[in-house]
Structure 1
Amino acid sequence: MYNITLVGTHHGEIGKSNSDELYKIIESLNPDVIFEELSTDHFDIIYTKPQILGEPPEVKSIKRYLINHNIRHIPVDISLNPLLLTNDIENIFGAFKRYEVYKKLEEEQIEMTVKEGFTFLNSKRNLELSEVKKITERNLIEFMPNKNQILRLWNLFYEEQDKRENEWLQKIYNYSKENYYDKAIFTVGAGHRKSIMQKIQEYEKKEEFKLYWSFYEG
């Protein structure tokens, strides 16, 4: 009872990281609840239409699973900070990629995701690469024009990620306290995996209500 598996994903389909492979994982875990990294607004739009252009693999695989499985699937994300314009964030991360040291880290992640799919996305090596990338980002900002403005946006971006992750776990625990289930999964972008795992450890120390977490490794 209350077994929940964290599955790190990639929001685009590349190589072995695709909706077919994710569907196989979901089938093997056989959940009766799926927690999704979607806000309520996006959830309502996505699941009231048969298909939307550019659907992420998580949505494709869950829609497919719903055809033959009577399960509950729950959105746990929040609406994004309006101060963080998508173009601004994309420009900042695009600027990082102009530096060879960052580009190599990104290329390794992409190459391994293509080759190994969800096994890599849920691996220790991917956790390490994500951590090194964040440290590298902070160091590179010091060499950029308008570094103070870039640093402010970069901090806002990661503060929002932290807020989102806290909300995800709060919603999962709140739902679980009020609704019984045997097995659940939580699909989340693999870049959040390390911080989510750390936050789960904190929850396990302070929460009387226990969820039995496991972490997909392929």
Structure 2
Amino acid sequence: MNNITFISTVHEEMGKCNADELCAILEKIRPEIVFLEALENTYSNYEQNLFSSFGVYHQKLEIKAIQKYCHSSSFEYVPVLKNELSNSFEKKYDLICENIQFQRMLDDFNSLASEQGFLFLNSSKSIYLQEKMRTFEYLLLPDNKLNKAVNEDIDAYENSMMRNIYSYCRNNQFDKAVFLCGVAHRHSIIEKIESFNSKEKIALNWMIYGNLSV
């Protein structure tokens, strides 16, 4: 059975959300496969050589963590992104981040992540606070066309990652894997796991890190 643990992350180290803490989680799970929300060129051959030859760690939290994990375990790294989010996403957040109240909400979220680490990121509270921010975003932006464009883009972005994971699993057998993905996608990815499991012919045993199950 292909077992996959879904773990929510952040992409830059902050307090207890750091590469050592994430590496410790990986060492407990012992995955043979690491699926990551990343493009193929996010961890380039040059950067891989820098690490293998000179021990230079990557700036992206998740890649730094798996570099540390490789000291104790062998695994296959599988980036699952084909495309970045569109310019509409950047345009939306450039506008939203001008709002002081939204900045405070984001700062409060990041403070909790820094203080409590991955236990917070993988909790129902983090989902609640993320959804609260999404609701506030809609109030800030009366431009329904921009919101619609961003939502469609994020949906396609997440579906692409899920399709790539299922495609890999149709052609490969393993015991344990992890899927590391940014916390902003947590609620949606959990829903997509349920949807994909119901319609895909291959059966995957998903576990949600943080004591949630599907």
TM-score by length of 2: 0.88
Partner of 1:145: none
Distance (whole Å) between structure 1 residues aligned to residue 33 and residue 164 of structure 2: 13
Displacement of 1:53 in angstroms is 8.2
- Judged with a 3 Å threshold, the aligned counterparts in structure 2 of structure 1 residues 54 and 158 are, in CA distance, closer, same or farther, namely farther
Contact 2:58 2:64 in 1 (8 A): no
Contact 2:85 2:157 in 1 (8 A): no
Displacement of 1:42 in angstroms is 2.0
Identity %: 29
Displacement of 1:43 in angstroms is 3.2
1:73 paired residue among 70, 77, 82: 77
Unaligned runs of 5+ in 1: 143-147
Contact 2:20 2:68 in 1 (8 A): no
Partner of 1:44: 44
| SS in structure 1 of the partner of residue 35 of structure 2 | strand
13-22 or 106-115, which deviates more: 106-115
Contact 2:81 2:161 in 1 (8 A): yes
201-210 or 28-37, which deviates more: 201-210
Contact 2:85 2:154 in 1 (8 A): no
Unaligned runs of 5+ in 2: none
Displacement of 1:114 in angstroms is 1.2
Letter in 1 for 2:162: L
| SS in structure 2 of the partner of residue 7 of structure 1 | strand
| SS in structure 2 of the partner of residue 186 of structure 1 | strand
Displacement of 1:107 in angstroms is 2.9
Letter in 2 for 1:172: I
Residue 56 in structure 1 maps to residue 60 in structure 2? yes
2:97 paired residue among 94, 97, 107: 94
Partner of 1:207: 200
Matches within 5 A, 1:1-218: 1-45=1-45, 46-50=47-51, 55-81=59-85, 83-84=87-88, 86=90, 88-95=91-98, 97-98=99-100, 100=101, 102-142=102-142, 148=143, 151-217=144-210
Distance (whole Å) between structure 1 residues aligned to residue 140 and residue 80 of structure 2: 33
| SS in structure 1 of the partner of residue 95 of structure 2 | helix
Letter in 1 for 2:78: I
Root-mean-square deviation (CA, aligned residues, Å) is 2.2
Distance (whole Å) between structure 2 residues aligned to residue 137 and residue 85 of structure 1: 12
Letter in 2 for 1:29: I
Letter in 1 for 2:178: I
Displacement of 1:41 in angstroms is 2.4
TM-score by length of 1: 0.86
Displacement of 1:67 in angstroms is 3.0
Distance (whole Å) between structure 2 residues aligned to residue 44 and residue 26 of structure 1: 22
Distance (whole Å) between structure 1 residues aligned to residue 58 and residue 70 of structure 2: 19
| SS in structure 1 of the partner of residue 4 of structure 2 | strand
Distance (whole Å) between structure 2 residues aligned to residue 203 and residue 94 of structure 1: 33
